[in-house]
Structure formats: structure tokens, C-alpha cells
Amino acid sequence: MGAVATPALGQEGGEARSVTPAVQVTSDTRPGRNHGYQQLLVSPKDDNTLVIIESDLTVSTGGCPVHVSLDRGRTWATRKAQPKPDQYGSCTRPTFGPPIDAEFGRDGMLYFIGSGSETASNRGPTDVYVARSTDLGETWSFTTVARGQNEFEFTKADGTKQKDTGRYNRLSMAVHPSDPSRVYAGIMISAGTPGVENLPLRSLVSASTDGGQSFGPPVDIFGAVPRDQIFGSDVPSLAVDREGAIYAFTKERPPAPPPTPTPPAAPAAPPAAAPAQPETVGAGTPVTVPPTTTPAVNGAGCPASPQGPPPSPPTTQKVPATPAQLGKEGAGDRLLFSKSVDGGKTWEGRSIEDSVAVCRFCLTTPEAAVDPATGTAYVVFESSDSPPPTPRDDRNIFFMASSDGGKTFTKRVQLNDDVDPERKPNYNQLFPGISVAPNGRIDVAWHDFRTDALFNPGGRGYSNLAGETCWDAFYTFSSDGGRTWSRRNLRVSDRSMNKSEGYVVNPGYDVRAAMAVASTNDAAYVAWPDSRAGNPAVPNDDTYFASISHSSARQQGESGVRWTSVALGVAIGLLVAGLAAAAGAALFRRSRSTAAG
């Protein structure tokens, strides 16, 4: 297993940072709403202007609302228009990973990438399209990038080829930092025919040289790598450096293991919410719809729920008699990297981190960024080093960097600081997001379950996604290119979320994606799906937002700055490390085990 560095501490200014009170961005009051997959952007024309584009999977039209703030996130307005062509029933799909993305061009053009089909079905072929707006989402124009009905040639594990339609439901995009005419769409393709499982997932990139008005044919970014070295791969996270080189990071998708044990099934799609009562939720259980919302409660409280008997640690996988070969059947998922220096025409790809491949699904899709001044490439990812028989536990957030154009990468550094040798496995951290400020500061935020210690101090004897209930948004930063990081992780959300009362990490839905992060020199911004208005019978996710100040003048003089989150974040860290007593306990409902795919 490769070396893992612990975070080097000691940033400037004594680490005093302030977090603004959380702001609810969405004003939707429908029961069962699911506002997630947030994309958070800062306008290149005005640091005061922020945009959030997200999705609601519970409306029959598969909506992608657009929210704009002109005052750094203090207030928000929702646009009437959405980036969804009329011919498609929806603009997104329920999936584990990024199904949408959004970017600004340097010229102020706002881009959105989504997938659509006429039926809005969660099965069958889908098209990829890019939407463009010159007026911050008031109006949109559309370009089709790839059509799902067009056949794609897949190469199976035995080397034989098979054509099938394409299903595109994990997407990303990037824009050249100085040439806004160059736009890139990252795509994961799978077989479009329902029930076809033996064809590999592949990572594609399509390039535009006219500002997104048209796109060239998608190119397989690992097409030059022999299939016996890289069989399959996921959606590529894209970043473009100042010289125009395109960096793509993704997770490996090796051949499926033998049928025993069976890989975890994909989560069910969230239901379409209807205003009539009773409403059908989840698997079809009739429930009475509660009031449209419950009052928001500030503070640390994760809503109380019934405490069931401690679940048994999962033992669904056995330690193999002989280790699986990397890239072969039964092996885990490596961190893959590919680069193009000719605008996406050709690519050179390889694995850059093999130690994460201790088990299948131990690694989730990474997120990438490039320093606009130095051109240094960064990648963050969530990974577990826990092998069978308890795979995928103790998930942590890692960081790597390359300052030589991707020729070499630093050893991975763990960014979450809830290190407790007495807890094996420890609390989970999930799906990081990353952003780089113009001055080079790196901002990283993620979903973090360490808060569960406040409500369930014993942790039921162990920690995994079945035994944990309460989570928060946490954050760290580096001002020196990732060599050192903030002295402590900072809690950003002002109220802990109960996973059973929302969708994002609810085991019944599990529609996780990267935490939304955006940066200016003065502040880091974070948005997340918040379940404070939900309950287990009718989950709700609303979009919430907060900012972390990096301006000393604003820290000292800006009204409305909240210091309680800083103090609580420190208290949580001490508690989890065993240096302070548990602050309190709440009752929990029985949780089901969830699968990370």
C-alpha cells in the first residue's frame, strides 16, 4: 500500500477564519423535494455575483433550477428559465456521482452540461447537451454533444467487440482559462440497452472550438491504453491549465468480480412528489404528507430518531485467497489520469495511485482543479483503505498535486483531521469538492460524519455508513500549493443533517456528488443539500449556502459573522479525538447498510 502523508499544519494568520450563517437558497415548499448536485460558480466579471445550478429529481420534469446572488450569497433569486431543451423530459438522472456540471467562461458565458431523453426515463439511451447563457440564466441556447441512439463500439473483457446505444448520465466540463472559445465536455458512457451489464464503462471527452456552439466527436481518453491494462473508467473530472493542456482524472472500472459476492445494486431513483395526499414515497409505501416544511433550527441538532439495536459490521466480502491483479476481474478501482496537449484530439493515460485499489468501490470519482497562476494541477478524492472483510469503511479525503504537467504527482495527503487510533474504522468523509482562488489558495469541502459523535458518542462500537446518522459540511484550505493545510478542519454547516431525512446519503437513494465549492481571494463559498426540513417518511433536501472569510478586514468588521461554527468545529474535533466528553446524545432510528458505487 502506498504511503499516506498526514496533513502538514501551520497556515498563516493564526488560522482565525469566520463562517457566515447558513442561508437557504431554494424557496420550494413541496413535500419530498430533492435539491441536490449543486454547482456553485463565481462570475469572472464580478466577484459579488454567484450562481448555483442544481437539480430536483423528485419533479416529473427533472428540473435544474438556477439561482443567482448579486451580493456574495446573502440573498438569492431563482430564474424562471432552466437549462433544459424542450424536447427532453428532464435535464438530469439519479446517479452516484456527478450527473451535471456548470462553468463560466472568461468572457462571462455561463455553461451547463446535462443529459436528456424524451421520456425522462432512468433507463435506456440518453443524449448529452450543453446549454449556454449570456445573461446569468435568464435565457439559454442549446447544443447537442452526443446522441444516445448513435451506436458506440464497446470492447468486452475477452477482446470481442459489441455495438450498442449509449447511456450518458455522469458528466463534467471545463473551459480554457484564457480562450473562452475552447470548451470541453467530459462524459461517461455505458450501454444504452437496459440489462446489458458486460460492456465496459468508458471515459470520453468532446471538444468545442467555437464557444460551445458545436462539439466534435467524443474521444476515449484511455483509447491508446491496451484494454488489458485499463478495461473501464468513469466520468473524467476536467481542468485546463494556462497553456491549454487538458487534465482528466477519474476512477477505474475494472471487470466485475464473480457473481459471489454480488456487487451492490444501484440505488432506486427518488420518487416524483405529488401535491395530493396520500403521497407515494420510496418503494411505494403510502404515507400521509406532513406540513410543507418544518421550522429551521439553528445549532448542532441532528433530529432525534428511534434507537434500534446495534447492527452487525458488514461481512459481505471474504478476504481473497490470492490478491487480485490490478485492472483485472475482482480488483479494486485505481485513480486514473489522462492528459491532452492538442485540444482533446489525442490523450495519454495511466494509473497514478494504485494503493487505493484495496477493494471494489473503495474509490469514488475525483475532482480536479488547476492553479491559474502556476499551472499546478490538483486532485482530491474520497477513498477507503479498508480491505475485506469490512471493505469501504473509514473513508477519508485525499489530495495530490503535480507541478510538472502531470509527469509526477505528490504522495497522497489526508485532509480530514478526525484521526482517532481508538476508532477502527473511524468516521467517514465523503465526496470532496475543490476550487482554487485567483491568488492560488486551494479550498476543499466535503460531507463529514464526525458530528455523529455528538449524538451517538459510543458509535455503536464501530463506524460505517450503516452505523452513522449525522453529517455536516466540513472545509480546509491551503495557501502554499498544498504543502501545508489549515490547522484544523472547519465545520461550515450550522446544523447537522440526519441522513434518513434527506436523499444525498440516505441508503434508500444515495445520490451523492461532490460538495459545491467556489473561491475568490477574499472568501471560499460552499453549498450543500440540507435535510433540516425533512423526515424519514418524506425526505426533503433544500440547497443551503455559507461562506468562509479570508479577508482580515471582513473578519473584523462585517456584520452577521458567525463564530459558533468555528468553536463547534473545534469541539467536535476534540470530541472525536477522545480529548473531551461527548456533548450529548440523541436517539437514532435503525439504519440500513448503503452501497458506494
Q: What is the CATH number of the domain that holds 44?
A: 2.120.10.10
For the ranges 165-179, 209-223, 270-284, 386-400, which has the lowest average pLDDT? 270-284
Assess if residue 283 is contained within a domain.
no
What is the rounded average pLDDT of the residues 176-181? 96
For the ranges 282-296, 477-491, 566-580, which has the lowest average pLDDT? 282-296
In this structure, the answer to whether residues 331 and 431 fall within a common structural domain is: no
Among 250, 107, 101, 247, which residue's Cα sits nearest to residue 177?
107
CB atoms within 10 A of CB 169: 23
Assess if residue 537 is contained within a domain.
yes
Is 532:504 a contact under the CB 8 Å cutoff? no
Residue 58 has a pLDDT of 82
- Encode pLDDT of 534-545 as tens digits: 988 999 999 999
End-to-end CA distance of the chain: 22
In which residue are the cell numbers 431563482 written?
Answer: 78
Structure-model confidence comparison of residues 176 and 581, the more confident one: 176
Assess if residue 277 is contained within a domain.
no
What is the rounded average pLDDT of the residues 35-46? 97
Q: What percent of the chain lies above the pLDDT cut of 70?
A: 76
Assess if residue 13 is contained within a domain.
no
In this structure, the answer to whether residues 459 and 336 fall within a common structural domain is: no
Assess if residue 263 is contained within a domain.
no
pLDDT at 356 over 50: yes
What is the rounded average pLDDT of the residues 464-484? 90
For the ranges 88-97, 281-290, 424-433, 479-488, which has the lowest average pLDDT? 281-290
Please state whether 453 falls in left (phi above 0), alpha (psi between -120 and 50) or beta: alpha
In this structure, the answer to whether residues 340 and 374 fall within a common structural domain is: no
What is the rounded average pLDDT of the residues 415-441? 90
In this structure, the answer to whether residues 134 and 241 fall within a common structural domain is: yes
Beta strands, E only, 322-393: 335-340, 348-353, 367-370, 377-384
What is the rounded average pLDDT of the residues 425-443? 94
Among 275, 230, 204, which residue's Cα sits nearest to residue 30?
275
In this structure, the answer to whether residues 503 and 581 fall within a common structural domain is: yes
Residues 6+ apart with CB under 8 A from 290: 31, 535, 537, 538
For the ranges 349-353, 418-422, 425-429, which has the lowest average pLDDT? 418-422
Q: What is the total residue count of the chain?
A: 597
Residue 464 has a pLDDT of 62
Residue 402 has a pLDDT of 98
Assess if residue 486 is contained within a domain.
yes
Domain edge (last residue) among 349, 380, 414: 349
In this structure, the answer to whether residues 234 and 152 fall within a common structural domain is: yes
Q: Cis check for the bond before 388: say yes or no (omega within 30 of 0).
A: no
Highest mean pLDDT among 66-75, 195-204, 580-589: 66-75
In this structure, the answer to whether residues 458 and 564 fall within a common structural domain is: yes
What is the rounded average pLDDT of the residues 566-578? 44
Host domain of residue 89: 36-258+327-349
Is 141:169 a contact under the CB 8 Å cutoff? no
Residue 446 has a pLDDT of 98
- Please state, in angstroms and rounded to a whole number, the distance separating the CA atoms of residues 514 and 365: 9
Residue 5 has a pLDDT of 57
Predicted TM-score (pTM) of the model is: 0.84
In this structure, the answer to whether residues 487 and 344 fall within a common structural domain is: no
Cell of 248: 482528466
In this structure, the answer to whether residues 98 and 246 fall within a common structural domain is: yes
pLDDT at 511 over 80: yes
Structure-model confidence comparison of residues 279 and 568, the more confident one: 568
- Please state, in angstroms and rounded to a whole number, the distance separating the CA atoms of residues 503 and 280: 15
Based on the structure, what is the number of domains in the chain? 2
Beta strands, E only, 70-192: 77-78, 101-104, 110-116, 127-133, 141-146, 152-155, 161-164, 166-175, 183-191
Residues 6+ apart with CB under 8 A from 119: 89
Assess if residue 301 is contained within a domain.
no
Torsion angle, alpha carbons of 359, 364, 367, 368, to 10 = 20
For the ranges 96-100, 271-275, 343-347, 436-440, which has the lowest average pLDDT? 271-275
Is 472:529 a contact under the CB 8 Å cutoff? no
Residue 465 has a pLDDT of 66
Confidence of residue 589 (pLDDT cuts 50, 70, 90): very low
Confidence of residue 301 (pLDDT cuts 50, 70, 90): low
In which residue are the cell numbers 401535491 written?
Answer: 275
Cell of 231: 478495461
With 0-12 / 13-18 / 19 or more C-beta atoms within 10 angstroms meaning exposed / middle / buried, residue 481 is middle
pLDDT at 99 over 90: yes
Report CA torsion sign: 210, 101, 105, 75: positive
In this structure, the answer to whether residues 336 and 449 fall within a common structural domain is: no
Residue 491 DSSP SS3: strand
Residue 330 has a pLDDT of 65
Q: How far is CA 293 from CA 29, 62, 398, in A?
A: 6, 21, 37
pLDDT at 470 over 50: yes
Is 489:524 a contact under the CB 8 Å cutoff? no
pLDDT at 199 over 60: yes
- Please state, in angstroms and rounded to a whole number, the distance separating the CA atoms of residues 229 and 207: 26
Phi and psi at residue 570, to the nearest 5°: -65, -45
- Please state, in angstroms and rounded to a whole number, the distance separating the CA atoms of residues 476 and 384: 20
In this structure, the answer to whether residues 456 and 512 fall within a common structural domain is: yes
Domain edge (last residue) among 316, 349, 382: 349
Is 92:55 a contact under the CB 8 Å cutoff? yes
What is the rounded average pLDDT of the residues 293-312? 46
Q: What percent of the chain lies above the pLDDT cut of 90?
A: 58
Confidence of residue 552 (pLDDT cuts 50, 70, 90): low
- Please state, in angstroms and rounded to a whole number, the distance separating the CA atoms of residues 365 and 358: 16
Q: Cis check for the bond before 180: say yes or no (omega within 30 of 0).
A: no
Residue 336 DSSP SS3: strand
Rg for the chain (alpha carbons), in Å? 22
Consecutive H or E run containing 444: strand 442-448
In this structure, the answer to whether residues 246 and 394 fall within a common structural domain is: no
Assess if residue 491 is contained within a domain.
yes
Residue 60 has a pLDDT of 66
- Encode pLDDT of 118-141 as tens digits: 776 778 899 999 999 999 999 999
Domain edge (last residue) among 349, 384, 414: 349
DSSP 263-280: PPPPPPPPPPP-SSSSEE
What is the rounded average pLDDT of the residues 229-251? 96
Is 400:412 a contact under the CB 8 Å cutoff? yes
In which residue are the cell numbers 481473497 written?
Answer: 320
Residue 393 DSSP SS3: coil
Confidence of residue 259 (pLDDT cuts 50, 70, 90): low
Residue 476 DSSP SS3: strand
Phi and psi at residue 46, to the nearest 5°: -160, 115
- Please state, in angstroms and rounded to a whole number, the distance separating the CA atoms of residues 466 and 383: 17
- Encode pLDDT of 4-32 as tens digits: 555 554 444 444 478 999 999 999 999 99
The DSSP bridge pattern shows strands 183-191 and 202-208 to be antiparallel
pLDDT at 144 over 70: yes
